[in-house]
Amino acid sequence: MLYSFEYRKLGKFTYHILAEAVTIKAYLLKWIMCEWEVDHSEAPEEHWTVEWMNALPNMEFALEILRLDDIHPHADLMSVEDFQTSLKERADEREEGMLRGVSIEPLLVNRNGLELMDGYTRYIVLKRHQQKEVYAYVGSV
């Protein structure tokens, strides 16, 4: 399946987005699920990955603009020192491209608690640049 992305600027950054709920879900089930399966095979003790993999197929999605300060990273994930180190390195690498106009995809957020499920590197860069609002695929069960 080919995806017809739309490009929209919000704040300092350009996003490539999908607007239709059914397309968002198909995209996430194909690409994000694969990413999480790899994450789980590399770190099976990280329970949040399994929680997210179980929740994703049951969610319905909408593209929304959210206040960045309302989004909450998973506390257990953020307490992992190796993840913090890796996240900073990835954000440092990604930041220049984002500032030069390389498009990013919306964050993936669970409506229940506005928990950040995917997009931690983008989240950090957006925070660094004090973005007030961001595009997010918001999932609800």
**Residue 41 has what pLDDT?**
96
The pTM assigned to this predicted structure is 0.95
**Residue 2 has what pLDDT?**
84
The span from the CA of 104 to the CA of 135, in Å, is: 10
**Residue 1 has what pLDDT?**
63
H helix or E strand, kind and range, residue 42? helix 33-42
Print pLDDT tens along the chain (141 aa).
689 999 999 999 999 999 999 999 999 999 999 999 999 999 999 999 999 999 999 999 999 999 999 999 999 999 999 999 999 999 999 999 999 999 999 999 999 999 999 999 999 999 999 999 999 999 999
Q: Which residue type, as a one-letter code, is found at position 82?
A: D
The span from the CA of 57 to the CA of 37, in Å, is: 14
Query: Across the chain, where does the E strand assignment appear?
Result: 6-10, 13-17, 60-67, 107-110, 115-118, 133-140
**Residue 28 has what pLDDT?**
97
